[in-house]
């Protein structure tokens, strides 16, 4: 647990260091927002690929809940820096994947996840009482 908290702190510290460097260099605000949008997109992409990689042992309810807590810390940092819209937009998909893993029943709306992604998630995360086809039909309705 301590190890994981340190990693989350390291990410937030790295983002803070990057922001202070950009502020010291007086980089245009629009460029700063674009840079952090790319960083948030990279975090989203890296976590998503790591979750659905060959090892499906990460696709559990507890992992989803842990990632939600950690990503909320990144979102809180972004809100303090005025980057809440960039964080919200670019971290939405991974947050919905984490919510998918942490919900009790798969009947919620996951508007950032397309049918292909949802099928991949259902393939790596074993959902009781629902088949892939029934869940996709619920999702599309």
DSSP state of 57: G
Q: What pLDDT band is residue 129 in, cutting at 50, 70 and 90?
A: very low
Distance CA(9)–CA(7), nearest Å, equals 5
pLDDT 10s digits, 25-42: 999 999 999 999 999 999
Q: What pLDDT band is residue 3 in, cutting at 50, 70 and 90?
A: very low
pLDDT 10s digits, 45-78: 999 888 877 666 777 788 888 899 999 999 999 9
Q: Give the residue from 1, 81, 78 showing the smallest Cα distance to 40.
A: 78
Domain boundaries, the chain: 2-106
What would the DSSP string read from start to end of 39-94? HHHHHHHHHHHHHHSS-GGG-SHHHHHHHHHHHHHHHHHHHHHT-HHHHHHHHHHH
Q: Is-contact 88 118, C-beta < 8 A?
A: no
Q: Is-contact 78 84, C-beta < 8 A?
A: yes
Distance CA(81)–CA(92), nearest Å, equals 18
């Amino acid at each position: 647990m301590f190890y994981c908290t340190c990693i989350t702190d390291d990410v937030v510290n790295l983002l803070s260091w990057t922001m202070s460097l950009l502020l010291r260099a007086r980089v245009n605000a629009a460029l700063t927002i674009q840079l952090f949008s790319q960083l948030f997109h990279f975090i989203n992409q890296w976590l998503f690929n790591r979750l659905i990689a060959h090892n499906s042992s990460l696709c559990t309810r507890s992992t989803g809940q842990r990632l939600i807590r950690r990503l909320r810390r990144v979102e809180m940092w972004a809100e303090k820096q005025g980057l809440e819209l960039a964080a919200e937009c670019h971290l939405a998909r991974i947050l919905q994947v984490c919510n998918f893993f942490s919900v009790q029943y798969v009947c919620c709306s996951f508007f950032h996840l397309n049918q292909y992604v949802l099928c991949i998630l259902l393939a790596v995360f074993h959902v009781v009482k629902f088949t892939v086809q029934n869940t996709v039909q619920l999702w599309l309705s």
